[in-house]
A and B are shown apart, each in its own frame.
Chain A
Amino acid sequence: MTAILDVRNLNTSFSTPEGTVRAVNDVSFSIEAGETLGIVGESGSGKSQIFMSVMGLLAKNGRAEGSVQFKGKEILNLKVDELNKIRGVKMSMIFQDPMTSLNPYLSVKRQMTEVLETHRGMSQDAALTAAVNLLDIVQIPEARRRVHMFPHEFSGGMRQRVMIAMALLCEPELLIADEPTTALDVTVQAQILDLLGKLKRETGMAIALITHDLGVIAGLANRVMVMYAGEVAERANAGPLFKTPQHPYTQGLLRSMPRLDEHRANRLQTIGGQPPNLQHLPDGCRFRDRCSYAFDRCAAEQPLLRTIAEGRAKACHLEAL
């Protein structure tokens, strides 16, 4: 069956006065119906820009090349009118900071009903009922009253729920969640992740969960894609990735997480060094300066993403960790 989203050889770059920044480099992946793909990486890894390219939300100086297919239909660089038939309808996106992502000058009601009025041709009243319904589903108390309020009258966690509700109004088949919990308190994070899990079970929609926090991925993602310096470092099902990471970077990420089940008061393990400058990328493997396993082939030749087992791929010259 066709994947919901099929990305092939995506290249996204930005032209700046100081040169071209290659944010996404030859990235390919797909998301099947109903599955949750976790995309992990630090700032600058390109994880968000992939989906900005998919949704046509790149900044003015950004260019995306390659192929992005939504259920078999090519959507990369589609004309805005055509793209608007998919955005918000079949494919929705929620963002990191719910305060700035909601229009402070319009009521929540307006921001929700406009989606239904535009895409489903609903009347104001019908749209309002649907909006309140969805606010109930995302567990906003007193939804009927609250829907008339303005974003600044909601707390951080509730705003994110509002954003989720807004994204689900047209029952999309794919929800892209760009760091949905990063700006929230830890306790609220857990609630939002629970909500996403519940919605996924009830609607069967696919989710692309972008985060820098491995803890967020665990429990929600079926498959995980690890990004580094604009490229895919490793791709695997969630379980095997956590148990036996095959890329030094993934291993480093996992090791740097403090764990409750380790009793020894060890120093926190970190990955030394800094991510590379995307305008002046080093030759060979981009991770080699920080990799404890690097050998001569790493400097000479850039490792390509290769399949190493059923459903597993990595971009590393090492045979196995």
Chain B
Amino acid sequence: MAVADISIGAVQEVQGRSLWADARHRFLRNKAAVASLIVFCVIVAACFLAPHLGLRAPDDINWDLESWGPPNLELGYLLGTDANNRDLFVRTLYGGQVSLLVGFTATLVSLVIGVIWGATAGFIGGRIDGFMMRIVDILYSIPFIFFVIMLTVVFGRFITLIYVAIGAVSWLDMARIVRGQTISIRRREFIEAAEASGVSKWRIITRHIIPNCLGPVVVYVTLTVPNVILTESFISFLGMGVQEPDSSWGTLVSEAAVVMGIAPWAIIGTGGILAVTLLCLNFIGDGMRDALDPKDR
């Protein structure tokens, strides 16, 4: 019934396209994803280039203004001031550095753990595979946030450890995906052919298995980043994450939430930028998933 039943006929007229060129073409057709990508790049640039943009410093206190004052366009306080008369907008940008950095680092950690775990399980197979995936199943049932919070309590809130902790609880999906891909690729005939003609196991893994895994892995990486940022914001919001004088979007939202009665712009601004970033990342991730694994949606 679906269009796929119609054989279009391989040879003459249709030009073959590599998987990546095809995916890029499909991604670019997705307006929401492209727009999100642009917005996200702008946000990242703004946050990391903030020191060079000629803005006020984040710890610059202005005694003339009141705390939690409203946005003041003449003086350039786009979101007004915070509890200590500092420029809230600048603090938000700098906070973005922390949040985004956590996002990328923790995702990297989860990527490394997940890929190694999944590829090993999938490649070795048998009892070891079963055992490794049992562990994944068990860990899946555990409420992460609780463990992350406990980890932060235990390790005295060192920022790097927070990144690692979050990454350490986010690798499960990645492991599952990579294992699934490894298994399906390993069974394909061209791997058997390679093995039969004496190609070393290592070469098989690097030359054949890993490139074929990349598609779903890329999709999951783009979807893990917002999850990780969300987790970090969550614990920072509760006061257990990043500590003063550093701040992340989570802590800023937390502060702004307390005073939302008198300074509603603060929560809208800080919460807004967090929300927009996460939204963009999700649209991008969705766009990548559609591009690399198209089904009739």
Contacts and interface: CB of A to CB of B under 8 A. Distances in A.
Contacts of B13: 277, 279-280
A106 to B, nearest CB: 20
B3 interface: yes
A52 B14 CA distance: 27
A303 interface: no
Contact of B6 (A14, A276, A280): A14
Nearest to A48: B5
A21 interface: yes
A80 to B, nearest CB: 15
Contacts of B11: 274, 277
A16 B5 CA distance: 13
Given A23-B6, A44-B6, A277 B14 contact: yes
Interface stretch (A3-11, A56-64, A67-75, A154-162): A56-64
Contacts of B5: 43, 48-49
Chain B contact residues: over half helix, strand or loop, or mixed?
loop
Chain A contact residues: over half helix, strand or loop, or mixed?
loop
A21 B3 CA distance: 9
Contact of A16 (B1, B3, B7): B3
Interface residues of B, number: 13
B3 A59 contact: yes
Contacts of A59: 1-3
A44 B30 CA distance: 30
A229 to B, nearest CB: 9
Which of B1, B13, B14 lies at the interface centre, i.e. has the most chain A CB atoms within 10 A of its CB? B1
B2 to A, nearest CB: 5
A272 to B, nearest CB: 12
B8 interface: yes
B245 interface: no
A276 B3 contact: no
A277 B12 contact: yes
Interface string B155-193: 000000000000000000000000000000000000000
A275 B1 contact: no
Interface in A61-120: 61-62
A62 B6 CA distance: 11
A193 interface: no
A242 to B, nearest CB: 26
Contacts of A276: 9, 12
Nearest to A22: B6
A30 to B, nearest CB: 25
Contact of B1 (A43, A44, A57): A57
A278 B7 CA distance: 8
A274 B6 contact: no
B142 interface: no
Interface in A116-140: none
B6 A278 contact: yes
Interface in B1-46: 1-3, 5-14
Nearest to A23: B6
B7 A275 contact: yes
A23 B12 CA distance: 18
Contacts of A16: 3
Given A277-B13, A280-B13, A44 B3 contact: no
Interface string B108-149: 000000000000000000000000000000000000000000
6 contacts: A21-B8, A58-B1, A59-B2, A59-B3, A277-B12, A279-B8
- Give 6 nearest A-B pairs by CB, closest first: A44-B7, A277-B9, A280-B13, A43-B7, A277-B13, A59-B1
Given A21-B6, A43-B5, A279-B14, 7 more contacts: A44-B6, A57-B1, A59-B1, A62-B3, A277-B9, A277-B11, A278-B9
Interface of B: 1-3, 5-14
